[in-house]
Every structure is written in structure tokens, then in C-alpha cells.
Amino acid sequence: MSKSRVAVVTGTSSGIGRAVVERLAADGCRVLAVDANPEGEAIAQAAGAAFFQADLTDGQQCARVIATAVERFGNVDILVNNAGIQHVADIENFPEAKWRTIIDLMLTAPFLLTQAAWPYMRQGGWGRIVNIASIHASVASPGKSAYVSAKHGLIGLTRTAALEGGELGITANAVCPAYVRTPLVERQIADQARLNRMDESEVVEKIMLSGAAVKRLIEPGEVAGVVAYLASDQASAVTGADWSIDLGWTAR
């Protein structure tokens, strides 16, 4: 980074979010790591970041996240919307409460966080919004109606923010990985095995990597590297884009 930027990253206690915090802090950013899990505090501190515990399904707590970053660091330059959960069930049996939680966390919260951070980015004439979407922002899979809907919606939010922010020095991009080696993906294996009536040992090969040209899971640090670029000065001409890290899924 050309200067010490202030970054807010959500969903940071493991996986992609943790890797992004570690990478941005190593690049010289002052980082506020945000997670509902209090265990995320030790992880943030180890990376040299500050920590804020929040339930992002609560709109008031979303506003408090940005206010805390400003109180602590004086500004918000970079927002990485990463927090997410997953629930696997067919449409007929998908619980309404779980649907609402997923949409609130993975679509409404990114909007509210973006809205709260926007005035600070506009005032500074510089901002980077990076939304962690998924390959499921482009394609669908059975049993993931809420997750797929939220990720598709996140692309729409990204593109709208890019258009509105262009003249203000604010860029907005989405990163769309296929299956990443994270605890979230590991928890999906049993769910997918049950939904598809197969052994757990078959899930990675026959479901997660069936459409991939590169037959392996993605490492969180690979995603963090793309996020770091999009959050940099060098990416000032990149906005409204969906960055696929999909092992060749969409090449077909």
C-alpha cells in the first residue's frame, strides 16, 4: 500500500477472512477485523489487527462497525465484505428463519456496511469495496437457494456501487472463488453427502470439483492475494468486475 490505509474486514475468525486480515495487515493496512465469534480476537491480535465482535444480521451493529473503525483509526478506506454462512436443504424443506439469516448476513449487511462507509470514502476521494461472492454468484447448485440468491444479489450490489462510486474515487469489485479450503466448506461435505445420498469421501471429487479443470481446493491465501490487489492503488481502473477464482468452472 502506498500509505497506511484503514481496512474493515468481516468474517475473520477463519478461512478467507482470516487470510485477508493477515495479508492486508502485512501490507501495512490498519485493520479492524469483525466477527461474531469472540475467538476471532486472538486471531486478529496475532495478525496485528484490532477486533470488533458484532452480529451483522443486526443493522445497528453494522453501523457500529464502521463507527468503531473511524473512532479507532480516523477513517475507512477499504471494506471487505466476507462474512457468510451456509445451509444446505432443498427448497421444499428450507427453513424460513435460516433463509432470512443468510440474506441478512450475506446481502443486507454488505449493503449497510457499504452505506455507512461511503461518506468517509467519498470525503477522502478514495475507497475500495471488495465483496467476497462465490462461483455461486454465477451458477447455482441444488440445495443452496438462500446462499445462491445472496451471492447473485451481491453482484448486483457490487455493480451498482461501482457505477455510483466511479466519479468519487471509489471502486467496487467482487471476488468469486470456487470451493476454498475453509471450515465452511469442510462443514458442507456432510450436508452434501446427505442431500445427494453419497459417501462423504465422494463429495469433493464428484460435487465440489466435478466442474473444475484444476482438481484441487483453493487456498485462502490465494483469494487474499486478489483482494489485496483490488484494495490497492494499482487497481484504480478496475471496478464493477467479478473476479473468478474458479479452477476453470466457468470455462465450459
d(CA 51, CA 48): 10
pLDDT in the model for residue 188:
75
pLDDT in the model for residue 1:
53
Catalytic residues: 147
Domains of the chain: 6-180+218-241 (3.40.50.720)
pLDDT in the model for residue 19:
98
d(CA 141, CA 161): 27
pLDDT in the model for residue 161:
98
32 bridge partner residues: 8, 50
pLDDT in the model for residue 3:
63
Residue 188's nearest CA partner among 206, 205, 208 is 208
Which string of DSSP letters, residue by residue, matches 81-97? E-------B-GGG--HH
Alpha helices in the chain (DSSP H): 15-26, 40-47, 59-73, 96-103, 109-124, 145-165, 183-196, 200-203, 220-230
pLDDT in the model for residue 176:
97
Residues 6+ apart with CB under 8 A from 37: 13, 53
pLDDT per residue as tens, the chain (252 positions): 546 999 999 999 999 999 999 999 999 999 999 999 999 999 999 999 999 999 999 999 999 999 999 999 999 999 999 999 988 899 999 999 999 999 999 999 999 999 999 999 999 999 999 999 999 999 998 899 999 999 999 999 999 999 999 999 999 999 999 989 887 777 777 777 777 888 877 887 777 888 888 988 899 999 999 999 999 999 999 999 999 999 998 887
58-110: pLDDT as tens digits:
999 999 999 999 999 999 999 999 999 988 899 999 999 999 999 999 999 99
